[in-house]
Amino acid sequence: MNELPPKSGRTPGPDMVPTQPNPLRQDAPGSITEMPSPSHMGHIHINTDVNYQAMVDFYIKLFNGEETAQNPGNPMTFITYDDFDHRIVVMYKEGWGTKPDRAVGYSHLAFCYQSLGEVLFIYKRMREWGYKPHWTINHGNSTSFYYKDPDGNEVETVVDNFPAIETKAYKMHYQFSEDFGPMKDGDFDPDKMVELFEAGMPDTILLDRNEVKRLIAEGKL
Ligand SMILES: [Fe+2]
């Protein structure tokens, strides 16, 4: 346990915390008549052992995030990237070892960004920090960079190639049709993608799977 990071310097104070519940909405009894769907995905807890601190570092860096709390009694670090109090929790499980190469369970977590520029900026920063994606692809519906955290859990940074409703239509009606072709045809070189982007090639081309396939065939991507 002596490798765990020190508790950060937050000072608890009664003026910093709400004193009574303040719910977003209160539903009158009987007013919910259908099975609700989630409003959003909340957070993920990840078990880890020998890579505890490296896992915390990875997610704080990837998210440009912040630590909101630690639980020293049952060691875990709460990390967020927005107004929510936690998005990822890294939990220390002494003696659990490492993740097997082929494990059932979640395949990867995907985090959505607003633009190709953001995803490429993250790529460049992650590359500087020694984290390289093992797969970069235009899926047609999205452009995705897949990394592995220090335990080998896969994490995707993704930008949709269309607004959400159009992306959904692409998924439902085209992505796995015969016209679409083999998925791997959208695999591209991330360094070349950065070069093209920084040379001014517009997102309308760089996010277009057909254009991406053409650029790959020409050796430019
Ligand atoms: Fe995904």
Q: Which residues contact 66 (CB under 8 A, 6 or more apart)?
A: 60, 79, 80, 81
The 10s digit of each residue's pLDDT in 104-141 is 999 999 999 999 999 999 999 999 999 999 999 999 99
Long-range contacts of 164-167, Cβ-Cβ distance < 8 Å, separation of 24 or more = 167/141, 167/142
**Mean pLDDT over each residue of the chain, to the nearest integer:** 93
> Ligand 1 centroid vs 160 CA: distance in angstroms?
11
CA distances from 183 to 12, 84, 167 (A): 51, 35, 16
The 10s digit of each residue's pLDDT in 14-69 is 667 888 889 999 999 999 999 999 999 999 999 999 999 999 999 999 999 999 99
> Ligand 1 centroid vs 88 CA: distance in angstroms?
17
> Ligand 1 centroid vs 156 CA: distance in angstroms?
6
Its pTM stands at 0.91
Q: 178-187: string of b/e by CB count within 10 Å (b at 16+)? A: eeeeeeebbe
Among residues of the chain, what percentage have pLDDT more than 90? Answer: 87
> Ligand 1 centroid vs 78 CA: distance in angstroms?
23
Length of the chain: 221
DSSP letter, residue 92: E
The domains of the chain, with CATH numbers, are 40-94 (3.10.180.10), 108-217 (3.30.720.110)
> Ligand 1 centroid vs 109 CA: distance in angstroms?
7
CA distance 34 to 37: 9
